[in-house]
Amino acid sequence: MEDNEKNANRRKKRAEKGPNQRLRQRTAVLIIAILVLGFGAALVRLSFLTLVQGSSLQEAAVSQMLRDTKINAKRGTIYDAKGKVLAESASAWQVVLAPINFETDQQREAAASGLSEILGVDYQNVLEKTKQKSYYVVVKRKIEVDQRDRVMELTEKLSKDYDCDGVIQLLDDYKRYYPKDELASCVIGFTGADEQGLEGVEFKYDDYLAGTPGRIVTAGDARGTNMPFQYEQNIESEDGNNIYLTIDETIQSICEKYMAQGIIDNNVKNRAVCIAMDVNSGAILAMVTANGYNLNDPYTLPADVQQEINELPEKERDKAEGEALSAMWRNKAVADTYMPGSVFKMCTASMALEEGKIDDNTTFTCGGSFVVDDKTINCHALGGHGTQNFTQAICNSCNPAFIQIGQLVGMNKFRDYYRGFGFADKSGIDLPGEADDNFWPEGTMSLVDLAVASFGQNFSITPISMITACAAVANGGYVLQPYVVSKITDAKGNVVKNVEKKVKRQVVSKETSDRMNEILGYNTETAGATAGYVAGYKVAGKTGTSEKIGVEEPVSGFGKDYIASFCGYAPADDPQIAMLVFFDTPDGGAYYGSQVSSPVFINIMTEVLPYLEIKTDYKEEDLAFIDVSAGDYTGLSLEEAKKAVEEDGFSVSVKGSGDTVLAQLPAVSSKLAPGGSIVLYTDEESRSEKVTVPNFLENTAAYVNSMAAGYDLNISFNGAVSTGGVAVAQDIPEGTEVSPGTVVTVTFAASTDSGFND
């Protein structure tokens, strides 16, 4: 009964609430659930963004708000061994617009017109930049003083004529500059548009030279527009480190001068190399890949090369130009290999001496050829050298003798010494692009291979490895690490890095080295200029002539292409400097190393050895050909000058009708042969007179001297003058018009009648 009453009451209460009340309750529950879920999700998302993604979102916000502009650091300077500047970053400027400050199209057009004319940039391109909503837009980088001054004038004009201020800014920048243009181009290299190193030392040491860039950090507003300059923060750049090379500018210049002339004299088809090394440290004093290129204009090819490319079909030009530029930049001294030829005989001889396989009494017989495994290998002396001892075999550069020497050493030992001299590995020189050698793989070398290898044929090495091995022969047997950078300093002069002598190994004993110095020194004395004889100095050296194997279409007129080389050092009794000279594919009147490379070696050493203050030691027969210095005869009366010239041992030639000497040739302190002629000028009109240089080549010293006197010219003698040689090179070409009294340097070598070794 009671239960029925309770149920009835509940039904009555529900009926009293009605459907609207129930709907409100359900709605409230639903709203509460939505709020709980919504705020919960938002809280979870907020926690995720804050705790998990907070750092990255903060960085993104900052990057949207800030603009970061790099300020280039000043690149470090490159110096030669004596502290002379070879590469430096000179002050330049970059032109920056603040286009947000333009108010009218007339202002924009005036600024764009002026900048395009001054900077040589496209007008439409600049005009588009003036319409950007920014305080910082770069128009052009690396402008120089004259353009900077004109931009400043334009800024004043815009302010005065167009009421337009603060739209152009000039910011500091740097431009790489090479004061010596082509000097040591293959060593120094150059930089790209962004000052990054692209070749040579600039590339190899880019991390040291580049420095640390600075920054201009600029705040932006909500629209993404840069804020004015007062909202900037400047972070200063740090200058790059300075590099000091082992290259001596004077020695480098001498080498480049004579190598360039050697290319002309011998019509060389495939460039040439000269390396000078300190034999006791491995420091490179000069490195030439002739002819070089202008470091200030590295993308301009020689006119003749560019002309050939222009004649190609248009679709082939880009590829050809790229290949030509790569070839021009290529450091042949490091990146190319060549067959060394007979200069390698100094290594073969050292092996045999070190192993005790030969001594001064060992003899070899040469009948003009030698047979190995049924293969006949000829000597350059087709009639043969007969019976000869070890020293004579080297002086004769006799291939059959060296085949026998190679056989005495044996294949395995020959390979061991090849590795020991450093040919099997890269030298490790601090320059990019060093090539590997090309030798017979282990187990593949035949007796014929050993025979030709003994005189430097049918394998290839880099020039830098050959000069390193030559230094080892000279310095007591020590294989050194070659290098071109001696030290690195910071912008304040503090030493960051010092490069010191590094000995890799001792490949032969000091006794072997000393004996080779004697033999190679004797070689130059007996063979004269064909073996690099330099009057007044004891020089040791060896010529080389190697045939280029695998050339299908020779470019020279000899029927085969050759490499002519000379490798030597001085003084022979106390070696200081070693030098390798080689010309790739000469196509003139000769191709032997004794004819092509030896005269150039002599010319270079004749200037370099006195520069290095190496003591002279003249033989009596040389004294008649030693250059003497011209005195100062200017300002004297004609009669006084004549008397002074004659007292100094010269003849006199007078030009003009005056009574006082106004000028003279050769100039004061110039070097010329004893008994030469001093030309005295007594009026201005006579100084315009010219004479034509004759062809002195293939003549004896006496005849050359007589010819020079007849042309009112003077001679400076180089090479084997005292041993009856003939002229093989002259530093002023035939047909050149010069003033009377000019000194022509003539180099002499053994005549073709006496025969050349290779």
How confident is the model over 525-554, as a mean pLDDT? 79
| Tokens 């609207």, located at residue | 20
pLDDT in tens, 212-230: 877 766 665 544 455 554 4
How many CA atoms within 13 Å lie on the side-chain side of 454?
31
pLDDT in tens, 440-451: 999 999 999 999
Cβ–Cβ under 8 Å, residues 584 and 338: yes
pLDDT in tens, 303-346: 999 999 999 998 999 999 999 999 999 999 999 999 999 999 99
Q: Output phi, psi for 566, to 5 deg.
A: -145, 135
For residues 409 and 380, which has the higher predicted lDDT (pLDDT)? 409
Q: Taking the model in full, what pTM does it have?
A: 0.80
Measured at the CA of 337, the angle between CA 335 and CA 368, to 5 degrees, comes to 160
The pLDDT, as a whole number, for residue 276 is 98
The pLDDT, as a whole number, for residue 755 is 43
pLDDT at 467 over 70: yes
In the structure, how many helices (H) and strands (E) does the chain have?
22, 31
How confident is the model over 593-603, as a mean pLDDT? 90
Q: State both tokens at 125.
A: 């391109």
State the first-to-last Cα distance of the chain, in angstroms, to the nearest integer.
141
How many CA atoms within 13 Å lie on the side-chain side of 413?
19
Mean pLDDT over the full length of the chain: 87
pLDDT in tens, 483-507: 999 999 998 999 999 999 999 999 9
Amino acid at 115: L
CB within 8 Å of 401: residues ≥ 6 apart:
364, 366, 385, 388, 393
Could you tell me which of 643, 657, 700, 651 has the C-alpha nearest to residue 679? 651
How confident is the model over 199-213, as a mean pLDDT? 93
Q: Output phi, psi for 757, to 5 deg.
A: -85, 175
Asked, as a colleague might, if the bond just before 340 is cis with ω within 30 of 0, I would say: no
Could you tell me which of 631, 640, 642, 701 has the C-alpha nearest to residue 670? 631
- 407-to-17, 401, 600 alpha-carbon distances in Å: 124, 10, 34
Three-class SS of residue 366?
strand
pLDDT in tens, 703-747: 888 899 889 899 888 776 766 678 888 889 899 999 999 999 888
Amino acid at 247: I
Secondary element (H or E) of residue 547: strand 540-547
